[in-house]
Structure 1
Amino acid sequence: MSGKIVARKFHDNLFRDILSMLKDTNSHDVIIYVGENQYDKKFTAHSNILKARSKYFKNNLSNKYITRKDNLIEIKKPSISPNVFRIILEYIYTGKMCLTNQSGEDVLGLIVASEELLFDELFTYLQEHMIKYQRRWIQQNLVLALHTVSEISNYKNLRELCIQFILEDPQVFITSKEFLSLDENILSELLKRDDLQLEEIVIWEYLIKWGIKQTFGLSNIDRTKWNKEDYEALKETLNKLIPLIRFSEISSDDFYDKVCPFEVVIPNHIYKEVLKFYMKGVLSEGVTALPPRAGVINIDSKIIKPNHAYIIANWIDRRGAKDIRKKDDLKYEFKINHRSSLCGINFGAINNLCNGYEHDHNPYLILVQRQNTYNISQQKSQNSSQNFKIYGEYNSFNPKNDSFIFSFENENDIKNTKICRDMNAVLRFNKYNQNVHVKMLEYCNGDVEWTNENFVPIKVEIFTVNVN
């Protein structure tokens, strides 16, 4: 009985022989000039291999308008560096690529080149490689990386990683020299983010520095010697960015000392709106109504959002709701253990669950949502998604009494937050009345008042709180 014949593969020899063609300068029919100077580096290649391996070369080498000189096709790629193109060419001839000793800048260049030359498989591989092995280089070269990847949607993963690094430590980024060369569109995107965790006055100061650097001639002139045209030029530079500043988050002292000196660069309607806020405390529908910046902490909740979880984490640490959390601060994990949309609102089961946490001294967070009550005229002006007030309780079972009760006006609001650490504050599930009783101190127009109410909850969620 004859055995099955197995086909032998001789790929290594095939690749070696094809690579030898690349090194043979007598059989080529294509010359490729690369580098910023079109004659910086010259490579020779074979049109049939290029067309077989690359959709880009197939399209371009089939064009009847291609440039020829001495029967050789000439291609110029000034945007690709010689080292990057050498690696690309070896990949075309062998299907192999070694990135072991390549710099982050060259790997980034390879990503750009592979996208331009339509090597889809290589483009995906190189992005994954850079995200996995070149993270430190990306952190150290954020502006270069962002400028490279920001304009092309295919760079989504790399772009998100760059933004993530900035948000992890925005103070370091904004105070770096590289920040001043940041592209306006990228800066605009950052300023739009609610989770850019910097004091607003710091953002304002560095926005002014960025604008001065970006405005021709201003960085070389002492500001005390600026004329009207200089201020107008700066105003033009910052025109699209100033509306993104959360002026209501800047103290009146800082506004007077650090913002007012640049009054002329702020659009008149915005300046009037901001003045109205500082003088009357009125938040309009415009720039002063922008939400405060707040960090985010992931939480699997249908009641609150990650920026609410960030505030709760600050309260657990006995800090202000808007305080900026640093890298070395405690990391909290909110693990969902009960969700009424899945389990229903069973008052007995909820009390038993909370009693179990108390017995084991496991810190927990409970969230309760109720529908707000409005009169008819108020209700018409309310968005239906904003009609649900949120109460919550954090229990630490800590001798220092770090427990507290809190409230948010609705799922989208982080301005009107309230917290009460009073020993007499209560959030209780009444099994027999089938309602929730809340009693907490609140500050209203300078007075301290007790909120004391009973309501039927719409949603309930319970989380254990762990420190990572």
Structure 2
Amino acid sequence: MTTKFFDRLSNDLTQLLEDPIDYNVSIEVGKAPNNQIFKVHSYILQSRCPYFKKKFNEIPFNDNHVKALKMSDISVKLFNIIIKYIYGGIISLEKLENSIIFDLLIASNELELDELLEHLQTHLVNNNASWLRLNFTRVYLTSHQVKNFNKIQDFCYDIITKHPNTIFESENFLSLPEDVLISIIKQDDLQLEEIKIWEYVIQWGKAKNSTLPTNLAEWTSDNFLTLKETLKKCLMHIRYFDVSGEDVVEKIFPYSQLLDYQLFLDINSKIMAPNKPISSFVSPPRKISTKTLPARNIPFHLSSQIITVEHALEISSWIDKKEIPYTDSNPYEFELIVKGSRDGFDVKTIYEICDKVSNTLIILKVEGTGEILGGYNPLEWDKNNNEWKKTQDSFTFSLKTANLKISIFSRVKNFKYAIGYYLNESWSSFGHALILRDNLKTSKNSYCRCKWYEKPIRSAEFLSSIHKPPSSDKSTFNVEEYEIFKVSKKNIY
């Protein structure tokens, strides 16, 4: 009988990391001022990690008989998790944010830690699928670029084929790399009408050529040649002979100059004489499921130039006080009732339009920073009384953007001062956390503080230390645009 004392072995090796006796490798991790030096042992790292085995063979010992290595592209937090795994074979994911686990997955792949790579993929797919869906575009693009993310790739392809709007209606669709778009539209089981695939491909191609005229009637032959060149690797994956004759005439013929001459003739022939042989290759029809798939209810009616479907799902989960964000059906309707560029930017305008309206969501796009700030107010707007209103259900937020990986969410904590209505002074507020004053686009009098709500929604450098700071203060801001939605539960029949 063989007895294995792995727990003691793991503990002893971990202690060696904490008290690095006879270390012979120095690894500087991260970038100043958040860098840190780890003193480790080459034999352990080489035996456990192929990346370090190759790396150490390239690096000579210095005068102190130590090999010095710099790893500036990985954070100290991530490396600390990885090095403990290498030494002790132990990792705990329970208290880690999902974004950290995903970054850990990427780092594990770069360090060729196959065992950890498999474990993290399984953990994310089995336990955190909702987060993967909410951050789908980032996850999918990363998995497409990394060959070893097999389980993540399978997860993503399953979602794309069953619910293609997840990617086609995302804010990042037009910036997809060409090879990613091709990998999607070539799928035989993509659950999308062929004419919709054509329209999305055309839309993507136009976005790559911003100088093309908006009005198709103004296009020249050179314009069509430009678009044809952009889409030459995509168009071959469109299954033209599965498009109805009506859609061909209305949506494909206007772009007939993108098609090869013989293909154009054969498409016409199939419409007029369906049984006549043609010379063009006919791809088999896509395997469209006859089974009704669970609806993702992507809300095409979301009339916003600021937030995305994913943002709306996240906000809805906050309204319902869900710990895990909604990822499929949104239980709410978002009805746009005020828009700055349409209705005006003065706070008094908001009071006039929103008076007596409850359950409103205000979204602000901050000028110059790209921040998306806002708040949810369950109470009725009141233009006749100037006072603080009480509620336990309001909250403020800063939504994730290219510059903010995870949204900041802050619920009211001093219920008595949850919402401020002061039309006579031309301002409205969520406590003293988000204050909107005067003209939101020109006066530069709106600002944020950290008072009466759980946490600040802006970084410290953009927080005001006083009430009503001057417009010259760094904390004040204008908005490029704002939108206010009436939020209502969907009717379920």
TM category (shorter chain) comes to 0.5 to 0.7
1:270 aligns with 2:270: no
Unaligned 5+ segments in structure 1 are 297-309, 314-324, 330-468
2:104 and 2:93 mapped to 1: Cα distance? 10
> Shift of the alpha carbon at 1:58?
1.7
CA offsets per residue over residues 328-378 of structure 1, 9 Å max, x none? 59xxxxxxxxxxxxxxxxxxxxxxxxxxxxxxxxxxxxxxxxxxxxxxxxx
> Shift of the alpha carbon at 1:76?
4.1
1:265 and 1:169 mapped to 2: Cα distance? 28
Question: Residue 31 of structure 1: SS of its match in structure 2?
Answer: strand
- Which letter maps to 1:273? D
1:32 aligns with 2:28: yes
CA offsets per residue over residues 102-125 of structure 1, 9 Å max, x none? 333332322232222222221221
CA offsets per residue over residues 369-412 of structure 1, 9 Å max, x none? xxxxxxxxxxxxxxxxxxxxxxxxxxxxxxxxxxxxxxxxxxxx
- Which letter maps to 1:53? R
2:85 and 2:32 mapped to 1: Cα distance? 22
1:69 and 1:285 mapped to 2: Cα distance? 74
Equivalent pair of 1:218/1:230 in contact (CA under 8 Å): no
Match of 1:95 among 79, 89, 92: 89
Q: What is the correspondence of 1:18-417 to structure 2 with a 5 Å cutoff?
A: 18-21=16-19, 29-34=25-30, 41-46=35-40, 47-63=42-58, 65=59, 73-77=67-71, 79-213=73-207, 215-218=208-211, 222-224=214-216, 226-281=219-274, 282=276, 284-287=278-281, 289-296=282-289, 310=290, 325-327=292-294
Equivalent pair of 1:31/1:72 in contact (CA under 8 Å): no
Q: CA separation of 1:326/1:131 partners in 2, compared to 1, >3 Å: closer, same or farther? A: closer
Equivalent pair of 2:27/2:71 in contact (CA under 8 Å): no
> Shift of the alpha carbon at 1:127?
1.6
- Which letter maps to 1:327? P
Match of 1:399?
A: none
Question: Residue 173 of structure 2: SS of its match in structure 1?
Answer: helix
2:24 and 2:174 mapped to 1: Cα distance? 47
Question: Residue 28 of structure 2: SS of its match in structure 1?
Answer: strand
Equivalent pair of 1:38/1:76 in contact (CA under 8 Å): no
CA offsets per residue over residues 117-172 of structure 1, 9 Å max, x none? 22222122112111111211221223322222224443222211111111222234
Equivalent pair of 1:16/1:94 in contact (CA under 8 Å): yes
- Which letter maps to 2:247? D
CA offsets per residue over residues 414-435 of structure 1, 9 Å max, x none? xxxxxxxxxxxxxxxxxxxxxx
1:236 and 1:76 mapped to 2: Cα distance? 44
Q: CA separation of 1:77/1:13 partners in 2, compared to 1, >3 Å: closer, same or farther? A: closer
Match of 2:447?
A: none
> Shift of the alpha carbon at 1:27?
6.0
1:69 and 1:251 mapped to 2: Cα distance? 76
- Which letter maps to 2:140? L
Question: Residue 180 of structure 2: SS of its match in structure 1?
Answer: helix
Q: CA RMSD in A?
A: 3.4
Query: Normalization by structure 2: what TM-score?
Result: 0.52
CA radius of gyration, larger in:
1
- Larger mean Cα displacement after TM superposition, 131-140 or 151-160: 151-160
> Shift of the alpha carbon at 1:186?
3.0
- Which letter maps to 1:284? I
1:239 and 1:45 mapped to 2: Cα distance? 53
Equivalent pair of 2:10/2:87 in contact (CA under 8 Å): no
Unaligned 5+ segments in structure 2 are 297-493
As a proportion of its length, which structure holds more helix?
Answer: 1
Q: CA separation of 1:203/1:14 partners in 2, compared to 1, >3 Å: closer, same or farther? A: same
CA offsets per residue over residues 34-64 of structure 1, 9 Å max, x none? 4xx698634423234322331221221122x
Equivalent pair of 1:31/1:43 in contact (CA under 8 Å): yes
- Larger mean Cα displacement after TM superposition, 266-275 or 278-287: 278-287
Question: Residue 177 of structure 1: SS of its match in structure 2?
Answer: coil
> Shift of the alpha carbon at 1:205?
0.9
